Amino acid sequence: MPRLMPKTSPIILSTWTFGRIANAAGWPVLRRGGKAIDAVEQACIAVESDPHIDSVGIGGTPDADGNVTLDGSIMLSPQMSAGVACVRYYAHPVSIARKVMEKTTHKLLVGPGAEKFAAACGFKKEKLLTKEARDWFRKWKIDPEHHNFHRTSANRPNREEARLRRKIAKVHDTVGVLAIDSHGAIAGACSTSGWAFKLPGRVGDSPIIGAGLYVDPTIGAAVATGMGELMLGACATFLAVERMRAGDSPRQAIQTVLERVAKSYKLKKRQQCALIALRKDAEWSSGGLVSGFRAAIITRHQNELQEQQITYLPA
């Protein structure tokens, strides 16, 4: 009699409150014994398709020229990984990245090249800019100094301006998804429209392997959200997985990444770098430089949204 391999208990974890939407789409794949790579892709597609989510896919916030440009990546292993960046007209960067991973020897396609590839793969063009996002862009365009939290205005904002700034400061976020399937395979994916009113051509951490997403099938995985420039400089998710390789728990690994970022940058108030780290044995953790990050989780015994487990407080 052939010995049956022990089955792993599946798990899916996704960033932010909209992670619940992601998990609701990804979990059925895992529950029926499907692959982690399909689960993370389906999870991202669900969030990318929702026009009410203003930082991912359709309904994403445009750049400073009024164009919605999307970044995303998918990963099973260093060899099986790819990203796409600055993609217009196509709502599902993770699915395009998966085709890059499966059909080419490349790791990253950007802009018109990525769009041409998407068309050749049969992806349908979609309108990404919703009316809400266009109205938001027009308000920002009229008065970018007051509506762009990247800049510091000499004038103290009145209450209405302060409210708008707070709202704009929230217009980013990435759906990042990590999953282990019942065969023990681990996969990750992430997708975002990036920073609201970013400079045209700006690419964040999400499509860059090792910055926004990293998976080593023998160790574990990590995915990030927040100001991509922080994760890019610190190779944040690569570092998290390397720390787990060295024996750190997911919690310790995140702590080390946050310390590294805090020590390497002159951080501005409330600049976020947040991560989920998942080890191969399904132990996981989440944490950020500032409070407010959440991770949605589904296992056979659990379906909930959890506040971040670590908040790094610089000394």
Question: Which amino acids are annotated catalytic?
Answer: 174
C-alpha 137/C-alpha 63 separation (Å) is 8
Smallest distance from the beta carbon of 274 to ligand ASP, in angstroms? 8
State both tokens at 203. 């690419």
Answer yes or no: are the C-beta atoms of 202 and 194 closer than 8 Å: yes
List of residues 6+ apart from 140 with CB closer than 8 A: 147, 148, 168, 196, 197
Site string for ligand ASP, 213-252 (x = CB under 6 A): ------------xxxx------------------------
Q: Which two tokens stand for residue 117?
A: 């590839």
Q: Which is nearer to ligand ASP, 10 or 226 (CB)?
A: 226
Q: CA 40, CA 13: separation in Å to the nearest integer?
A: 9
Q: Does 174 bind ligand ASP (CB under 6 A)?
A: yes
What does DSSP assign to residue 193? -
Taking the least distance from each CB to ligand ASP, the nearer of 40 and 185 is 40
Sign, CA dihedral 291-296-297-302, equals positive
Q: Contact between 295 and ligand ASP (CB under 6 A)?
A: no
Residue nearer to ligand ASP on the CB measure, 227 or 235: 227
β-strand pairing of 273-279 with 220-226: antiparallel
Please report how close the Cβ of residue 134 comes to ligand ASP at its closest, in angstroms.
20
Minimum distance, C-beta of residue 207 to ligand ASP, in the bound complex (Å): 9
State in angstroms the smallest separation of the CB of 264 from ligand ASP.
Answer: 16
Determine which residue in the list 20, 172, 260, 294 makes contact with ligand ASP, applying CB under 6 A.
172
Within 177-206, the residues that bind ligand ASP by CB under 6 A are 192, 194-195, 204-206
Q: Is residue 210 a contact point for ligand ASP (CB under 6 A)? A: no
Q: Residue 190: how many CB atoms within 10 A of its CB?
A: 33
Q: CA torsion sign, 96 to 87 to 235 to 315?
A: negative
Closest CB to ligand ASP among residues 42, 272: 272
Q: Cβ neighbours of residue 25 under 8 Å, at least 6 residues apart? A: 42, 43, 45, 46
Query: CA dihedral in degrees (221, 226, 232, 236; nearest 10)?
Result: -30
Please report how close the Cβ of residue 156 comes to ligand ASP at its closest, in angstroms: 26
Provide the CA 74 distance to its chain's centre, in angstroms: 10
The least distance separating ligand ASP from the CB of residue 288, rounded to whole angstroms, comes to: 11
Under rule CB under 6 A, residue 34 binds ligand ASP: no
Comparing CB distances to ligand ASP, the nearer of 18 and 117 is 18
CA distances from 302 to 11, 27, 47, 208 (A): 9, 12, 21, 31
- Residues 134-163 touching ligand ASP, rule: CB under 6 A, are none
- The CA radius of gyration of the chain, in Å to the nearest whole number, is 19
- Contact call for residue 14 and ligand ASP (CB under 6 A): no
Nearest-angstrom CA–CA distance, 279 and 284: 6
Residue among 29 and 92 whose Cβ is closer to ligand ASP: 92
Among 54, 173, 181, 216, binds ligand ASP (CB under 6 A): 173
Q: How far is the CB of 194 from ligand ASP (least distance, A)?
A: 4
- Based on CB atoms, which residue is closest to ligand ASP, 92 or 172? 172
Binding site for ligand ASP (CB under 6 A): 172-174, 192, 194-195, 204-206, 225-228
